[in-house]
Amino acid sequence: MSREERIEMLKKELKAVNTYNRPTYCEKCGAVMVFKGVGEYQCEKCGYLDYDDYGKVRNYIEKHMGANVAEASKATGVTQKAIRDMLKEARLEIAPNSTFFLRCEICGAAIRWGRFCPKCETAHHRELEEMARKSRHRDDMFGYSTERRQGEEGSKRFTREE
């Protein structure tokens, strides 16, 4: 991953964290809520615990293994779209014995997190690898072959030819 890509990802991550309706002030005493990790916040004065949307959904799913998105949304007040986004960002993982939560965007198989089932994801990677192999092969031919291929980009790389 390039430096730019990593920065982009971090920015997205931070933006996602900020949109999870983090509790800023304590519901009980009005003091500042301090971030404790994984969606949990604690009042610095009275110790009251509260959660952002991510924390709420996470807690609900941990207590209700078989719940689906609609049920989690109704119980937590977090929109179904937000819950699906959390799942897609792989911020939430569904328990193995859960009935369903997400579907693979390619084949529709039930999945626990991310956007694709392991089979489709592997197939997708195989495709990328095959493409990488082909373009590497092409580079090899441009770099070392004595046979000149005409009219293709990269012909400037024929510097090794006699």
What is the binding site for Zn ion (CB under 5 A)? Answer: 26, 28-29, 31, 43, 45-46, 48, 104, 106-107, 109, 117, 120
In the bound state with Zn ion, the residue whose beta carbon lies nearer, of 28 and 74, is: 28
Determine contact, residues 26/46, Cβ cutoff 8 Å.
yes
For the CB of residue 48, give the shortest distance to Zn ion in the complex, in Å: 4
In the bound state with Zn ion, the residue whose beta carbon lies nearer, of 113 and 141, is: 113
Distances in Å between the alpha carbon of 57 and those of 11, 70, 74, 131, 157? 22, 11, 10, 39, 55
For the CB of residue 128, give the shortest distance to Zn ion in the complex, in Å: 16
Helix boundaries (H) for 35-160:
53-63, 69-76, 80-88, 118-144
In the bound state with Zn ion, the residue whose beta carbon lies nearer, of 75 and 93, is: 93
For the CB of residue 62, give the shortest distance to Zn ion in the complex, in Å: 24
For the CB of residue 43, give the shortest distance to Zn ion in the complex, in Å: 3
Determine contact, residues 49/41, Cβ cutoff 8 Å.
yes
For the CB of residue 38, give the shortest distance to Zn ion in the complex, in Å: 20
25-33 LR contacts (CB < 8 Å, sep 24+): 26/50
User: End-to-end alpha-carbon separation of the chain, Å?
Assistant: 37
Provide the CB-side half-sphere exposure for 34 (13 A, CA).
7
In the bound state with Zn ion, the residue whose beta carbon lies nearer, of 10 and 32, is: 32
Taking the C-alpha atoms of residue 120 and residue 114, their distance in angstroms, rounded to an integer, is 12
In the bound state with Zn ion, the residue whose beta carbon lies nearer, of 31 and 75, is: 31
